[in-house]
Amino acid sequence: MTNNNSPIAVEGVPFIAVAGGLTLLCAAIHWQAAAICLLAITLFIVFFFRNPRRNTPADERAVIAPADGVIVYLGPASEEHLAQECLKISIFMSVFNVHINRAPLTGTVVDAFHVSGKFLDVRDERATFENERSGIVLETVDKARIVVVQVAGLVARRIVCYLRTGDSIERGQRYGLIRFGSRLDVYLPPGTDLKVKMGDKTVSGETILGYLA
């Protein structure tokens, strides 16, 4: 699985290399103002693609937040890959959040999908159905299923998901990212004992969203 150990997400290396190279070039030709601006940009890119370690709770029934951010929706919803009404939690990631996404449960990917679409602001309710998105359906050993969807946004136009149908993954393991701000939607089965509320901040790999029934 990509990005399990490196302190910087590998997808960020080309951006850091270009910005850093331009910084050195400007410094070498004594364009001090440009060099200072480019250094600030380089440091921000390093900050954006940081890949910290997280301590994932041990309880196997716990559903873990797949993203750092703020909960902007929590309530009933429909999801075509789950043949029932479910509970939906949407987590908004700003450009200042860690953008590595982590598996909320240990399980097997029974379906993976990608839908091309628009790039509306992810806080717009139309984004759920109209924006470009990539999702996985995770099934636990007890046959419980959840869906996790990475939603592209106004600025975030690059979704990365390492998982394919048939892959297995552990809770808290890194599985993808979205570049430059976006949203993660988690669809849970009815009866899930929720432990978060609207406006709560989440920490990917650590915050418990709820417990499966």
Measured CA to CA, the distance from residue 156 to residue 79 in angstroms comes to: 23
Measured CA to CA, the distance from residue 64 to residue 120 in angstroms comes to: 27
Helix (H/G/I), strand (E/B), else coil: 107: strand
Measured CA to CA, the distance from residue 66 to residue 64 in angstroms comes to: 6
Q: Does an H or E element contain 136, and which?
A: strand 133-139
182 is catalytic: yes
Angle between helices 13-28 and 32-48 (to 10 degrees): 160
Q: Does an H or E element contain 135, and which?
A: strand 133-139
Q: Does an H or E element contain 63, and which?
A: strand 62-64
Catalytic residue, candidates 78, 94, 116, 182: 182
Measured CA to CA, the distance from residue 198 to residue 39 in angstroms comes to: 37
Place of tokens 């592209």: 152
Q: Which residues pair with 27 in a beta bridge?
A: none
Count the neighbouring beta carbons within 10 Å of the beta carbon of residue 142.
Answer: 9
The catalytic residues are 182
